[in-house]
Every structure is written in C-alpha cells, then in structure tokens.
Structure 1
Amino acid sequence: MNILVTGGAGFIGSALVRFLINNTQHTVINVDKLTYAGNLASIASVSENVRYHFEQVDICNREAMVDIFAQYQPDLVMHLAAESHVDRSITTSADFIQTNIIGTYTLLEVARHYWQNLPESRQSQFRLHHISTDEVYGDLVHPDDISDDATDKPLALFTEHTPYQPSSPYSASKASSDHLVRAWHRTYNLPIVISNCSNNYGPYHFPEKLIPLVILNALAGKPLPIYGKGEQIRDWLYVDDHVRALYKVATQGKVGQTYNIGGYNEKRNIEVVESICHILDKLVPKSYSYSTLITFVDDRAGHDKRYAIDASKIRDELQWQPEETFESGLLKTIEWYLTHQDWCESVLSN
C-alpha cells in the first residue's frame, strides 16, 4: 500500500514511520509541518529508504494536500498531526483549534473528494485512520476519592462508549476532531477507523513531556517538577507497542469502529518520577539520590485526576496486547536518552 502519515516527524508519528519502513513493504508518505515538536532526526534511520517520501506541508493547506493525494495516491491515511501539549493549550489555544480541528476538517474533505473519485476497486480498500487520545473522556474516579466501604469494587475504566467530557483546550480540540471524523463517516460514508490511546512514552519523546523532562533535568542536576502532590494517575503505553496496535487498527479494524489502546500500567505521577530516579541512581550514580531533586509545584488548571483504559476490544478483536511492562519500557527509555544526548541537544537548541 501507499500509506500517508500526517505528523510523521512527531513522537508517535516517527515511531510509526520507522515501524512501517522496517517491518512492512509499504510505501510511506510523511506529511509534517515541522513545528517545534517535529524533528526529522527522529526518522533519519529510514529517511534514505526508497519507500519513504517526505513533504513539509501544513495539513490546513488544502491545495497542497490535494496535490499530495493526487501525486502519491494513498490507499491508507493515518492521521497523527496535532498540537498535543496540555500546558501549551492552556497558555494559548489558537494553534490547537487551527491544527486539531481545522486541520482535521481539511484532511477529511481532501480525503473524501479523493476517495469518491477512486475506481470502485480502490474505493473499497481505502481507509482513513484517525489517531486520538484518552483525554477526550475527561477523568475517572481516583482511588483516593473512594470511601473505605467501597474499596472492594473495581475502579471504572475508559471504554469505547465512555461519554466525552474533555477538560483542557487540547482535549476539547481532539474531541472535536473525533466528532468530525465520525460525522464524515455517517454523512458521507467515508471509511474511517478511530483509536484513542493512553499516555505514550519511549525514545524520541519531546523533552517537555513528563518522562523525558525528568530524565534530562535529573542528569543536569535541575529540579524535577511535579504538579500538586503527584497523585494524578495515568495509564502508560510504550510507543512501540502503540504503533503495533495502530497498524492492526488501520489494516484489520472494522470500518466506523473505535478502538481504545492502553498499556495496563496505571501509575501515579510521583511513582513515575521516583522510578526514573531509582533507575538513574543505578545507571548514573551521583553523590546524592536523584529523588532529592523532586520539587512540587502548583497544580495545573483543570488537571484530570485519573486516566485508565479498557483495551479488551482491541485485544479480543485484533489480538493485540502490549509487550512491554512499565518497568521494561521505562528502562529502555532511560537507556535510550543516556545514549542519544546529541538528539536531545539538537531538539532543545531548536
């Protein structure tokens, strides 16, 4: 197939591009605007492959996107291009509205007109896979908020039928894009699939996100900032596990369906930071423990308390489950950052 990946120079997108080039025979067309979070160094290992093509284009640019569809004739579109940092969306939300909503609308319209003009045989094979987040669901009951007499009851998880209750400008913009994708399927019969994932981590993660920020700050002897008391709970998913799931959803998922993808690794933020410190104490020992650098800061506005995904649908229907535990994935992540300081310095300098 010809697979068009939007946002393929970002964290998850670059992992997907590397996976597709290294593990399939498909041709990959990477469309990325190259904002601050996009980095071609993340796909340098596959950039010379004859099956890889790169186009620096904003998905909001309809004319350019029409030309790309006409030139490369994609059989599958995997849409990851998005502004994704919650803190940035709280500070200024305009870019999130533009890219996540207007960009998705533009892509849907270009894809719809392209698909409607395909030969019937190719129409039936075409798919658009929209990659989204569990943050569209809002938050779940936190174990600290449960009375003692109810502790024997299982805590709720996000399912594919959980109502949307986004809390931040970022998650609201992603919820909007999800609704647009479903509407284009319902109204125009555009063949789509959607996936909503939990918190990703792993190599090539932009250093403003929690895990790489803590790793790099610790190595530099800087404070390790944690919102509030660090009691927020997230379900952590190793990025390579995620891209395997994305490929299954895109190629085997049922048209019109949504699939939740999670790592079955619920951790409090303070646990994540302490785990990083513990590993670094062994790998790069100092005269002090890295945990002494932990600093608690004022909590984020509208901070969700807990995310956790029920990934039983993708497990049962598509036979996917994560291969990495949080412990094994975190160790791999830390070791990667320790041996790729040049990538980190390049990203931070830009």
Structure 2
Amino acid sequence: MQTLYPEQLNQYLERSGVPPVLLLFGDDLLLRMDAIDSIRQHFGQDAEKYHWIQSKDFDWKQLSELEQSMSLFGSNTLIELELPENKPGKEGSNALHSYASQLPENHTLVVIGSYLKKEHQNSRWFKSLSQHGPLIRTQSPDKGRLPAFIHKRAQKYQLQLANGVPELLSDWFEGNLLALDQELRKWQLLSDSGIITQDFLTDASSDSSRFNVFALQESIQAGNYKEALHRLTRLLDEENDFHRFAWILQREVQLLTTLKNSGNNLDVSAVFRRNMIWSNQQPGYMKRAESLSIDALHQLHYLIERLEMALKQDSGESPLILTVHLLGLLCQQGTNHLNTTEYLNTFSQPFQTEHSFISL
C-alpha cells in the first residue's frame, strides 16, 4: 500500500491521475480539507459529486446502486464517504469489500476518517480498498517539522515570517492548524508589508481580543473584576458557548499553578510562549502567582472541577454562579465580588450567595 502525505498529493495526481480509490485518514482538519480540495479540483466542474456521511441509519445500498447507474451529467463520478469512527460496521464492511471487488468505471471513492489505528488497517474492507489506491495521512506535523510547515503555509498567503515567529506560532497552534490558517488569512489583510513580526502579532492579538472570548482573559490578567463581569455578560448575550469560558478559566488556573510551583529547572519563558502570554503581561502573571496562597489555588482547582461537573454531567450547580466565584478568586477581590447583581441583571437566574461560595 502506497502512503502519501498531503503535500505530495497534487504531484501524485498530476503524475498518475485520479485512482479508483483514495483513503484519506488523519486527525488534522485543515490537512484533510486541503486534500479533499485537491481531489475535487482534479475532477473539475463537470463531474458528478456525492458526499456521504455514515450515520446510524446510513443506507449502504446507495453504493451498489450508484455502481449500476449510468452517469447523466458527466463522464466521471467522485464519491466522498466519511466514516466518523473509522468503523463501517458489518453491513458497511461487506458493501465496501463488494465495491472493491467490482470497481465501476470512471468512479473514484474517497473514504475519509480520523486517526488510523492498526485494527482499522487490518480490517477486510480497508485491505480490499487499499489495493486500488494510496493512503493519504492527514496528521499534523510533529513539533520538529511544524515551524517549516508554518513558514510554507505563510508563503501561500504572501506572508514573510520574521525570525522566531514560526517557532512562536508552533507553540501557539500545535494541534490546531485550522486556527493557524484562519489567523494567516486575517494577517494577510492586516499587514501592509506582508512581514509578520512579534510586534505585529502583539498588536493583532490585542485588536482581535476585543471581539472574542480572550477579552475576558484580559480583564482577569488585569485583576479588574468589574470589567471581567461586564465582559462575561456581553459574551453571554452573544450566546457564546459556556465551555469556552471554562477553558479560559482552566487555562488561567493551570498557568498560575505552574508558575507558583516553579522551581529552578522550569523554563518560564517556554511556559509563557506555550500559553500565548506576551512579554508585557509576564511580570503581572509572576506577581499574581506569588501573591496567591496555596489554599487559594486549591480552591480554584476545586471550583474548576465543579464547573466541569456542572457542564459535562449536569451536576445541578449553576455554571454562571461558579464562573462568578472563579472570576472573583482569579481577580483577587476577596469577598468584594458578592455584589454582582448589577452586572448580571440580564440573566434569568440571579446571582445567589449560596453555601457553595468559597472566599479567601
């Protein structure tokens, strides 16, 4: 079985043409989208295209029916079949095996899935299909290859990355290349010179943070409890997902804990890079970490656990109330954050000073 990586796919298709089967597997959404786009471009506008996603009630007869039907709109047919769990089931396995044994002329089947395990490769359906086309692995590059990938991706948008920027972006976007690509598209519009420096990133991050959940993080970093509550209210007015707030708060707590427990062997600068903390913010973080007591950190972790239970397991506690408590502790306002009704009066459930409140 031939194995390709996304950057090799275009050259393969130009040299060999589109095979009857392509196996597209990997966890990185951006690389998967790139590969699918490349395949579609090689088919052109006149081909018939189908995109199916396997579900519980998926009708596998579609595959055999399509084999037997004649093309009405073009000479070539592209079938994209997504397997969300890489497991087509017994019926699907039989259908794919049958398809591979009688490949229809001028048809290409692209099977799309997530991370490919050994058990998937050893399955009958996979072995049958892999005899008729290559496997394209859409896994994110490892940390050592990531700066080179980012540099090349920036060139796609006519951007030049200054020294140190690819490594910095590697720390920020490892495991989330789709977010990286979205930022590069935005910077292409924002940058006059096309040169992306660390100063440019600082300014761009500051501008964009006013319009997303990271504005809440700014208020926490500044210890401005009143502003944090105001921004929380505005964000919830926009119907943002509460899980995003939980992620921001968990990230803050974990970073403060790491800094609090830092020893001589900790590379603090690397910790700040991984967490996208700018140099002008770093002294504030160090000061906050030093001033927080161990008991306060324990209380923060306890509240984070309860917030996760409320969001994921419907524990019965209010995520809003728990978030308000967390903001108060993170902003180090002590018991001053009990008076929050005026900032949260848009919510149907008013803030309550219940028994779960933990103060310093």
State whether TM-score is above 0.5.
no
Structure with greater contact order relative to length (CA < 8 Å, sep ≥ 6): 1
TM-score (norm 1): 0.29
Give the TM-score of the pair, scaled to structure 2: 0.28
- Richer in strand (by share): 1
Q: Which has the larger radius of gyration?
A: 2
